[in-house]
Structure 1
Amino acid sequence: MFIINSIIAYFKNIRKTLFSNLLNTIVTLLIIVLISVTCINTFEWIIFKADWKVVISNLPLYAFGSYPPNERWRPATWIISLLTLSILTLWGPNWKCLRKNLLIIWVGTIPLGLYLLYGGIGLSPITSRHWGGLTLTILLTVCSSFFSLPFGIVLALCRQSSLPIIQKLSSIYIDGMRAIPLIAVLFFGQLLIPLFLPVGIQIDRVWRAIFAFTLFVSAYIAEDIRGGLQSIPNTQIEAANSLGLNQYQIIQFVLIPQALRIALPALTNQSIGLFQNTSLMAILGLVELLGVGRSILANPEFIGQYIEVYVWLACVYWMVCTIMAVLARHLEQRMNINQANF
């Protein structure tokens, strides 16, 4: 009975809000008709008119790029491990051992992915020119985020430093990097870095891309962390000093944990933006997810099927970004619970 009454009250509230007068009623009906027509036409195109052969016949390319077919189980294993870990993080058992070591497990996926992709002990070596698709996109995002976060934290602390030279240098770097377009930084990483290296020394183009993304994103992360640091009351620092904590202990146990918790929504936006910005690498020769789509459209068999390809790519990007957002929201909730318990 309570559920029925709640439903009735909900619909009464909707009626009161959307159909309170003649103007609201007309606008509401027009919007409903417009949304209905759009949805009907979209579903009709998806089901009856679109030719999804360009997607179905090229699914391995979207996932793994030109990775050797007999070795595709390696990137597939890594992607499945990331999905499994995401599920365990969100809905896994509340085992103390698992929850305590979850961060270490997440960090461990990076060397696992590099070992599986590069090869090595027990695996045949595969050069990075064969990497591509969703695998390369995720690798660029994960590695760049992993290196950008500590670098951004150091930059934020340096900008808050009492030493003028350190504060000025970090400010110049952050402001300068934020004033440069990302594509220019990526061009620097791919085309100019090899010119500055000694003869005979080469850096893999994937690592050059990770290096460029790290330099760029860390400047934005530094500002997010700095905002979190500025929101911490000075009374907490004074209390830590009264307890006998030194400067490094205050940073480790008081400032950084709270700044990360406060800046987590902004850091999530940076991670999602980084995942989307990896599509710029298609301009510079790395065949990531968008690059695979462009190479498929260059095939005479699929010329003109732009809508199907880009709708599929949009769905893939949306799915991965949604997973990242849900994981960040779950982490934020757990951090708030831990703070409340504390």
Structure 2
Amino acid sequence: MPVACRVALSVSLAVTFVATTHAGAVQIGVSDLAGMPGNKPQYVIISFDGAHDIAQWKRSRALAAKTGARFTYFLSCVFLLSRDMRKEYKPPGHAVGGSNVGFAQTRQEVADRLDEIRGAAAEGHEIASHGCGHFDGGKWTKAQWLDEFASFKRIMRDAYTINGIEGEPADWRGFAESAISGFRAPYLSTSAALYNALDEASFRYDASAISRGPVEPHVESGTERFALPQIPEGPKARRVIAMDYNLFVRHSGGFDRPDEAAAFQARTYDAFTAAFEREYSGARAPLQLGFHFTLMNDGAYWKALEQFAEEVCVKADVVCTSYADYLRRTRKAEGATAAPDAGG
């Protein structure tokens, strides 16, 4: 299994795209690109596995407001349970109330996270599923995966009630039951059983695969399959999965070295920029970048992301958007239409 997300991870949900004005960014829709070279925008799909830390919710949403980007948040449902309510989760093959990434510490923390989820969705971001307890399900059966998906839906739908949080919005349950269209497997650990379960559970897409470089998604076993690319990085241009954790392992063996953070940030920014330029001046396959809500090497990878997004996402022929919105924009044959005035 490839090295991937071994730290506290999470988040994603398909919602109506809402354009937001922002300083320095250009508001465009796909139709506005008709006169541009190649008539094809460069898509950049940025996602977060984690959605645990409230400060990082706010930081990512601020970056989106500044650049016009829209993100996918792959949510782990255990972060919608306070520790007192952890036995509401029954993980396949593990003890009741188990989790590899813990739970919310308090009911107030859950309430704050629900506010962030609702705020992000209203801004046009996507909330998708990262399962619940961040277990490696590579050997799970189809039935076990279906149990995990059912737990995610129930815990998300009933989060206010389970935790005794007042003021549940009238539209929350409908949103929780119908808006989730995508999934990313913990540790990027997949199997035929997972893909069969995804199809039966009516997921639109999976974003757990890995490819040698940026590639278009394809339909297999009933779902669109996206792959995080391996991109050249560092002085020897060795390929690495375009995800912060994999860069963390490459740069410092998975141990924090804050004194070298500036160098790691520069290497990451250079790798992202080079990968972007190859597609932007070439085939324009979507560039996918993955992150977590954990700050590694003194936040070097988030700083590189912010630098990259502030330069790239404001370009008139670049669309930094979510997985769900990418599919809405590009699958016209299936009746999807581009959202009006979608941000770049």
- Bucket of the pairwise TM-score, normalised by the shorter protein: under 0.3
TM-score by length of structure 1 reads 0.27
Give the number of the structure whose alpha-carbon radius of gyration is greater.
1
Task: Indicate the structure with greater helix content.
Answer: 1
The one of the two structures with greater contact order (alpha-carbon pairs below 8 A, sep at least 6) is 2
